[in-house]
Structure 1
Amino acid sequence: MNFEHLIVINDPGNPLIVPLNRRQVWEGLLQRVYHPLPFLPGLESCTLLQRDDAFLRRELDFGAARICDRVTMAVEEWVHFEIEPGEQHPGGSLTIRIEEPAPEQLCLRFIYATALAAEDQAYIDYIKSAYQQSDIDCVQIIRTLAADGPRQ
């Protein structure tokens, strides 16, 4: 299953949305990489297994399931999570891209690729809805982090 959607971060036409700059959004995405517990419900711990100039490899402990992923990124542009296939997970990927379709308008594009077959449409619809809600929550956490100021 491939799925993508866009969440608007800044909309100059909507005064109710507190604007964030690209750096604040990027810092929030880095928090998702290095401190993912608030972003992933059910996550008990995250262990950094390997780190070099090109990628990170992490083990995510969800209690009953342990998942390893590989994270690559381009500064202030995108983050890519590649979930390694294993006994407890078929693998897949998520790319989060910072987009600026117009000046002062920032968006996050979430792009998912999973091993789920399109056989059960109700299940696929449920998964898509869960991904969207998780991504809305991610943006809310990024907004909260930005309002709290830089992390030490």
Structure 2
Amino acid sequence: MLQLEHLVAVNDPSNDLVLTRAELWKGLLIRAECPDIFMSHVDHVEIIERSAVHLLRTMIIGAMHIQDRIHLVHEQHIRYDTEPNEQHGGGTLLMLIEEPETDMLFVRFHYQTPQDDQGEEAEYTKFLKAAWQQNDVETIKKIRELATEGLLAVKH
């Protein structure tokens, strides 16, 4: 089984733009609903089901069709359960918001797939882990850009 867990800082002390937990949450929701904004290689996205606590989404990337069940716990975490199919082995991604101190926000990304990370697959999994980490850093960067553009303003 392949697993990866890492932490990405959201707020940078050297940057005046401080995101709130609500703004971060809104950015993570946008990523769930519109992954093509965050990943240029996504060709098509369709939300099949939607409620306050889950989404069922299909996504097309090239010839690959992916179906995700996305579980939402308001301002706490988002869990993506990717259904296995002939093109994709399936897996889970958990994005957990952590706030050890006020405005000190982090997102803990935890990946788990049934793929073997030993033997012949070791080089590929090393590449895959690096790609996941880079994608997650880019996700937070994009959320900060959306905040700068005023697109994450939370109405009370």
- TM-score higher than 0.5: yes
Deviation by residue 1:106-127 (Cα, 9 ceiling, x = unmatched): 0010010011102232222111
1:91 aligns with 2:90: yes
Change (3 A) 1:53 1:148: closer
1:59 aligns with 2:61: no
Q: Which runs of 5+ in 2 are unaligned?
A: none
Segment of structure 1 superposing worse, 73-82 or 39-48 = 39-48
Give SS of 1:89's match.
coil
Task: Give the corresponding residue for 2:48.
Answer: 49
Deviation by residue 1:80-130 (Cα, 9 ceiling, x = unmatched): 111000011010010101101122210010010011102232222111100
Give SS of 1:87's match.
coil
Q: How many angstroms does 1:51 deviate by?
A: 2.3
Alpha-carbon separation, structure 2, partners of 1:5 and 1:17: 25
Alpha-carbon separation, structure 2, partners of 1:116 and 1:15: 39
Alpha-carbon separation, structure 1, partners of 2:124 and 2:62: 24
Alpha-carbon separation, structure 1, partners of 2:16 and 2:135: 19
Give SS of 1:90's match.
coil
Give SS of 1:135's match.
helix
**TM-score, with length taken from structure 2:** 0.89
Change (3 A) 1:54 1:16: closer
State the number of aligned residues.
Answer: 150
1:121 aligns with 2:122: yes
Q: Which runs of 5+ in 1 are unaligned?
A: none
Task: Give the corresponding residue for 1:19.
Answer: 18
Alpha-carbon separation, structure 2, partners of 1:126 and 1:17: 34
**1:62-73 to 2 correspondences below 5 Å:** 62-73=61-72
Identity rate, percent: 34
Alpha-carbon separation, structure 2, partners of 1:54 and 1:145: 23
